[in-house]
């Protein structure tokens, strides 16, 4: 993974990034650290992945915790850890997410519940426990990771689409509720990005070559890379976006422009 160079735009800030053991979450955490932030990263089980993320960042800039984003106790504990370790919380990126590939009628109740819990409930809990911590320091920025599926449906992804549509509306509501607290809440919506989460889906629809051929038509700028999403998230995290809240930004290579 290439590492984004920083300009110190997050110096003095403390951030939490969920789902940071690989892919987009890893790129965001490293980008935050390179911009000067102290970062707490989480995942629910991939401890080795968190250690690998930490190793990519400047020494001492990242701490890691195992935490289930769908567990109120775990999320509350991560926020408390960030405040205890670094003295404050300024930025939260709710990135943890999963996808299940199945037609609606073949989607099990278990898979539905797990997808909604991780993707939507996890975002809700992150906001719920981060907002009071941000109020204690006079404001902050929350960046939720949505998807093109916050706006458009897609076969085989019924639970995922439902969860990401919910993230969009949660973001807008939280932004309105906490503008007076100087807490900004925005959602970044990636298109097709080359991450481990897409591996199963790639195989289900015919392999990487077929996906690349498909993207030539549906995503004109081609396959996205995690670092391209991370640079957008940094913008929302830093003071350059101080007048931006309640908005969604599609980072989708033109996927939804057609």
What is the number of alpha carbons within 13 Å of residue 134 lying toward its C-beta?
25
Domain CATH code at residue 147: 3.40.50.720
In a domain, 102, yes or no: yes
Burial 207-228 (b: 16+ CB within 10 A, else e): eeeebeeebeeebeeebbebbb
pLDDT of 257 above 70: yes
- pLDDT score at 51: 98
**Is 119 part of a structural domain of the chain?**
yes
Dihedral sign computed on CA atoms, order 28, 227, 143, 218? negative
Domain count along the chain: 1
Rounded to whole angstroms, the Cα distance separating 258 from 249 reads: 16
> Would you say residue 3 lies in a domain?
no
pTM, to two decimals = 0.94
Residue 139 lies in a domain: yes
- Indicate if the pLDDT at residue 242 is higher than 90: yes
Total length of the chain: 258
Percent of the chain with pLDDT over 70: 95
As a whole number of angstroms, the distance between CA 115 and CA 204 comes to 19
59 falls within a domain = yes
Helices (H), the chain: 23-34, 47-56, 72-86, 109-116, 122-136, 158-178, 199-204, 208-218, 226-237
Those residues whose C-beta lies under 8 Å from the C-beta of residue 197, and which sit 6 or more positions away, are 23, 97, 98, 99
| pLDDT at site 5 | 62
Q: Is residue 164 part of a domain?
A: yes
| Averaged confidence pLDDT in the chain | 94
Token pair in block for residue 2: 């290439």
**Structural domain for 37, as ranges:** 14-252
pLDDT digits (tens, 9 = 90+) for 94-129: 999 999 989 999 999 999 999 999 999 999 999 999
Per-residue pLDDT at 212: 76
Q: What is the pLDDT of residues 138-192, one digit of tens each?
A: 999 999 999 999 999 999 999 999 999 999 999 999 999 999 999 999 999 999 9
Which residue numbers are catalytic? 160
Q: Is residue 201 part of a domain?
A: yes
């Amino acid at each position: 993974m290439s590492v984004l160079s920083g300009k110190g735009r997050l110096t003095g800030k403390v951030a939490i990034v969920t789902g940071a053991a690989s892919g987009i979450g890893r790129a965001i955490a490293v980008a935050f650290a390179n911009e000067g932030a102290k970062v707490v990263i989480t995942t629910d089980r991939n401890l080795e992945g968190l250690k690998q993320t930490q190793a990519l960042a400047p020494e001492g800039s990242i701490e890691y915790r195992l935490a289930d984003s769908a567990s109120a106790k775990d999320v509350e504990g991560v926020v408390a850890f960030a405040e205890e370790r670094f003295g404050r919380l300024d930025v939260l990126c709710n990135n943890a997410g999963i996808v299940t590939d199945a037609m609606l009628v073949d989607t099990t109740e278990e898979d539905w519940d797990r997808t909604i819990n991780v993707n939507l409930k996890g975002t809700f809990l992150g906001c719920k426990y981060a907002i009071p911590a941000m109020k204690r320091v006079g404001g902050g920025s929350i960046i939720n990771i949505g998807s093109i599926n916050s706006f458009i449906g897609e076969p085989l992804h019924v639970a995922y689409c439902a969860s990401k549509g919910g993230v969009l509306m949660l973001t807008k509501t939280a932004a309105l509720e906490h503008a007076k607290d100087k807490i900004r809440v925005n959602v970044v919506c990636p298109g097709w990005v080359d991450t481990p989460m897409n591996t199963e889906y790639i195989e289900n629809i015919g392999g990487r070559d077929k996906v690349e051929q498909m993207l030539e038509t549906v995503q004109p700028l081609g396959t996205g890379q995690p670092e391209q999403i991370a640079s957008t998230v940094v913008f929302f995290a830093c003071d350059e976006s101080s007048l931006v809240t309640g908005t969604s930004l599609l980072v989708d290579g033109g996927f939804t422009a057609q």
